[in-house]
Amino acid sequence: MLGRDARVSNRRIAAELGVTEGTVRGRIKRLQQDGLIAFTAITGFQIEQRARLAFINVQAEVNRVREVAQVIADIPTVNAVLITMGQFNITAMCLIHDLDALVEVASDRILALEGVRHVETSIAVRTVKYNDRMAKITRPTVICDDD
């Protein structure tokens, strides 16, 4: 239930499960203490008016795919890294505010990695469907803001 609506009341959860509100409250508290759940407000990437969703498709040497994917995942401005099948074997996703940011990630950082053969980029110009329950894409981490 909390996965669908984190704002659902303990009373409602208790009613649906047939337990007391105190039982629900205690269980949620234990799950939080154990680090199994957390509550936070996450906005969709569409709220970032200047930001554009960029896809970086990477063709890496087959024997280095996992290694390259992990190095890409460690880049702070990259939001998601997927190992794929097909012409490209890695796809990275990030939010960018301008083309210079995309060039910095795709060309300067990823293409320069040992084991990377080829990189192609795409920028989303319109969102037709986006399910933020599947993949939450949030604003990039600001390392150095010169503005």
Domain range annotation of the chain: 1-40, 45-123
Q: How far apart are CA 37 and CA 94, in angstroms?
A: 25
The two tokens of residue 96 are: 């960018």
- Residue 140 contacts residue 53 (beta carbons within 8 Å): no
Q: How far apart are CA 47 and CA 51, in angstroms?
A: 9
> Is the pLDDT at 134 greater than 50, yes or no?
yes
Q: Decide yes or no: CATH 3.90.1150.10 for domain 1-40.
A: no
**Interaxial angle between packed helices 21-33 and 10-17, expressed in degrees from 0 to 180 and rounded to the nearest 10:** 110
Once rounded to an integer, what is the mean pLDDT over residues 1-23?
83
Mean residue pLDDT across the chain: 83
Task: Report the residue count for the chain.
Answer: 147
> Is the pLDDT at 40 greater than 70, yes or no?
no
**CA proximity to 115, closest of 80, 63, 74:** 63
**Mode of pairing for the β-strands spanning 116-123 and 52-60:** antiparallel
For the chain, what percent of residues have pLDDT higher than 90? Answer: 48
- In terms of CATH architecture, what is 45-123? 2-Layer Sandwich (3.30)
Once rounded to an integer, what is the mean pLDDT over residues 54-64?
97
Residue pLDDT, tens place only, 84-94:
999 999 999 99
The two tokens of residue 28 are: 């949620």
